[in-house]
Structure 1
Amino acid sequence: MDDNAGLLTVLGVSTEEETVYRALLAHPGSTLAALADATGWDRARVRRRTVALEDLGLLTRMPSRPLRFAPAPPDLAVELLALSRREEIERARIGAARLAEEFQAAPAPAVHVVRGREAVAQRLTRAARAARNEVLVLGRVPFLGGRHELAHELLARGVGLRAVHRPAELDSAEELRAVRDLVDRDAQARVLDAIPLELVIVDRGTALVPVVLADELAVVELRSSALLDGYVALFDLLWQRATPLFPVAGSDSGTVLTRSDEEILALCAAGLTDRTIARRLGVAQRTVERRMHDLMDRLGARTRFQAGLRAAGHGFGGDPCGGMSTGRDSATSNC
């Protein structure tokens, strides 16, 4: 056969049926034996194809002995096949619409588990991108991936973002400045030592809890339920207990805090020692000590505690050195 063989497959005609149809077009009125000779097949095989072609309307039986076949004109036959296929597609489209209605009407399961690192990342990302009002985050969540592009996307759309971090998550100057960048884009960030789990809550209607099941990363997705309400209440409680990082500075005081000043106070808020603050900012410990003394002088404070209180007058909501429950002794934190 020629290079055009198989052109009718899109209309529901198999390649073998098309082979017989083309042989009949070349020799109208052929008998079963003649078609078998033309195709090189046995008569039983040809007979099955002629029955199928007759059902499709591509041939008719002639009133003769021996039995002969007449092909339907290609233009008319193809048009009829195309019309039939369009009707099938329309029926399928209507059926799909009905299935979609049934799916939307069915209540979604309250708990759903997604397994596998890639599937988890996709689900977390998809859920966050569906947010309309606010995304709440506890701990270090896989979808951020340390890059924060998705967080930038949410904030650019006007979606609120509130996150509570563990001090260990601010372990480098780069990560601390990345969080500061999010705050500059109107996110809100706080720090708390006692965060029991990672958690993402979208519009207070969906909670996603990353877990490890049988050494495989998974996420448990919760929808409207008492369990979801419990996770929302947990976030609200931890948010109230956490200490703000980089709040918006006010303008009442004559002392202006630089970004570097606020970084030092923020790490002090996390209950960190001067040595740890120096390591995370990539500077010497003596530099941190000197900067802290300078901040105390500029804020008119005789102690670090007073410096924290007076920094609150610049918008630093809360006591940066004493207002957060870290579970460590205050002497250990140098605050």
Structure 2
Amino acid sequence: MTAPHSIHSVEKLCAAGSELYERALREGGVPSRDADRAPCLIDFGLLQPGVENLRWLEPVAPVVAFHRLLRNVENRIADERRREAQLAEVFEPLMRLEGHPTTTPESTAISVLSGIERINLAVTEAMADASVEILTIQPHTSHTRASPELHATALGRDQAVLDRGGRIRTLYQHTLRHAPTIHARYEILRGDVEARTLDEVTNRLFVIDRAIAFIPANEDRTLALEIRTPAIVGYFVDTFDRLWHLATPMYPQAAQPPSSNGITQRQQAIAALLIEGYTDAVIADRLGMNIRTARVHIAKLAATLGSESRAQLGYLIGRSGILDQGQHEDPEQHLEQHPGQPPDRHPEQHPDA
């Protein structure tokens, strides 16, 4: 059995990835199946599907890849500096004003939280007295990863809730179903904790004791809303419960929907979005994967169905009947213990704010 591919950053390219990328540069490309042992090359944009041969991965020139990655870093820094200047311009004159006392965060039903650390602190404070139930939705995201210290904080606060007799339920996307670090996390936690997965989930959500909710307020998760309005929190709880009923169990017992005719469940989800006319970028976003990974799955789907073009692929999907498979599958059936499941080929996401 192949060992799980460890998660790493692009500046710490793994040995398998370096070897395969060098080989692709020398030979002009590699078969797509060879990238299974180094999926990081696709995630980092160092390999991409060939235009004429969907089963062939071509290397991106190192100088192109280097400047693209460097430009991403520079853009993030520039965005933060612009945001800092805009905030200073807005608040500097306001801070010189005197008048009636303003409301404090404790007195408002909806509060805006700024910064990852401030958001995590607010979640930790809200969970300090929680003893009933924590509901979370954790979509896959390529945005800012939490530090090991924040992961440790999240693990500690979750265990504290479980020790007080509380319950934790979490929804993930199928792309994170076999993520090794997520399973390792659940093996550490002791108590009433469950996880399920869906093809698509909503944006990130925390609901604490059905009284307080946290949701993102911008795309990169540096802003969040803390909500204490009962009607809104109740709406989030109802949405979560409906999604939970539709989801496939992952932990502590995992239901494994079988693939049919060589088509995996993930490829079925992609096929459904393809025939609706969605672009590769939209498909990737809705299913929680980056666009390069989505295109590799599309290429594998095309190869399985014998398609030679994008237009023909849509036609073959309609004729194949694969979208009719598993529509009435009961997620509680076919349960099996999770140990021994194969590792996922996508980055893990931890249940942090």
Scaled by the length of structure 1, the TM-score of the pair is 0.40
User: Which has the higher relative contact order, 1 or 2, with Cα contacts under 8 A spaced 6 or more apart?
Assistant: 2
> More helix by proportion, 1 or 2?
1
